[in-house]
């Protein structure tokens, strides 16, 4: 009789995961970097060739001119002072809006008396653009700094509040009923059901709020600020220094990207318990 050799089953998991990991690296880094590089190349060609196709690219600074202005500003102390001032304003206003927006959103979603009293007020104020409140902020607050922080707060507050309110109202009632059946109190329901259950909706509002907050803080700095990226960008426009204007725009874009990415990263960390499927393009 001949002995039969039993070969262990091949582990195909590692072979499948390796291409997936390479694909994820390609999707997450290389393709975005390539798209940005192509966009910059098109910008450089259109501006250096003085192209006019309905839009006057010949009046815009080229990529090399903007990079030269960026390099000059990186060597100055003023650039970092403006950067720090804008970041302090956005973190202060957005931080206050996050706390207040979540608290008010939960109260509107959970308390009928609170919703009857304050719900109409929030709906009346919500459509007013935060930047339109600049004259009111100048009258209300003794310093420009407090007014800019208030405008930033107002811009981020309503997206956070609305997302939180909708998230509270969307929670399945069976979750609360289960806790109540087991003898849980209102505090137990809030801590064990409501707050964990609304986290995805809350971070959706935070992600929108941080973007709107950047728009409004830059606009407020342009109108009434004395320091900040927005103020410096508007000052560069007033003296017709267009490369410096684009330096300000790029700085704003990078700051907005980093803060939004930070909010999303924190959201993913705090909602690890949620079931997630494979991301497909």
Domain extents in the chain: 58-270
Report how far residue 109's alpha carbon sits from residue 103's, in angstroms, rounded to the nearest whole number. Answer: 10
Residue with tokens 């907050």: 213
3-state secondary structure of 170: coil
Helices then strands, counting H and E runs in the chain, come out as: 12, 0
Asked if residues 118 and 104 have their Cβ atoms less than 8 Å apart, the reply is yes
Nearest-Å Rg of the Cα atoms of the chain is 26
pLDDT reported for residue 276: 60
pLDDT reported for residue 7: 54
Report how far residue 99's alpha carbon sits from residue 243's, in angstroms, rounded to the nearest whole number. Answer: 38
| Interval 250-257 mean pLDDT | 92
Any idea what the Cα angle at residue 88 is, between residues 269 and 252, rounded to 5°? 80
Q: Which residue has the higher pLDDT, 202 or 7?
A: 202
pLDDT reported for residue 281: 43
pLDDT digits (tens, 9 = 90+) for 55-77: 888 788 888 999 999 999 998 99
Contact residues for 39 (Cβ-Cβ < 8 A; gap 6+): none
**CATH class of the domain whose range is 58-270:** mainly alpha
Q: Does 247 score more than 90 pLDDT? A: yes
Structure-token pair, residue 243:
């490369």
Instruction: Give DSSP secondary structure letters for 31-74.
Output: HHHHHHHHHHHHHHHHHHTT-BSSSBGGGSPPHHHHHHHHHHHH
The percentage of the chain sitting over the pLDDT mark of 70, rounded to a whole number, equals 87
| Interval 18-46 mean pLDDT | 75
Q: Which residue has the higher pLDDT, 195 or 157?
A: 157
């Amino acid at each position: 009789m001949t002995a039969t050799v039993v070969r262990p089953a091949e582990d195909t998991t590692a072979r499948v995961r390796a291409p997936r990991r390479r694909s994820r690296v390609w999707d997450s880094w290389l393709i975005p970097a390539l798209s940005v590089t192509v966009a910059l190349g098109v910008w450089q060609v259109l501006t250096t060739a003085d192209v006019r196709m309905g839009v006057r690219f010949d009046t815009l600074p080229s990529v090399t001119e903007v990079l030269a202005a960026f390099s000059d500003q990186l060597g100055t102390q003023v650039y970092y002072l403006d950067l720090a001032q804008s970041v302090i304003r956005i973190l202060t206003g957005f931080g206050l809006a996050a706390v207040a927006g979540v608290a008010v959103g939960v109260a509107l979603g959970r308390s009928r008396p609170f919703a009857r009293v304050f719900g109409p007020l929030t709906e009346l104020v919500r459509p007013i653009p935060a930047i339109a409140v600049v004259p009111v902020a100048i009258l209300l607050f003794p310093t420009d700094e407090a007014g800019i922080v208030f405008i930033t707060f107002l811009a981020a507050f309503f997206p956070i509040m609305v997302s939180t309110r909708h998230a509270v109202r969307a929670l399945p009632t069976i979750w609360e009923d289960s806790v109540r059946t087991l003898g849980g109190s209102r505090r137990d329901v809030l801590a064990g059901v409501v707050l964990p259950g609304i986290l995805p909706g809350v971070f959706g509002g935070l992600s929108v709020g941080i973007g709107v907050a950047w728009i409004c803080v830059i606009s407020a700095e342009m109108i009434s600020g004395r320091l900040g990226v927005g103020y410096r960008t508007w000052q560069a426009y007033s003296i017709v220094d267009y490369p410096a204007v684009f330096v300000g725009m790029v700085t704003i874009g990078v700051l907005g990207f980093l803060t939004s990415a930070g909010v999303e990263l924190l959201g993913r960390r705090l909602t690890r318990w949620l079931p997630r499927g494979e991301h497909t393009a």
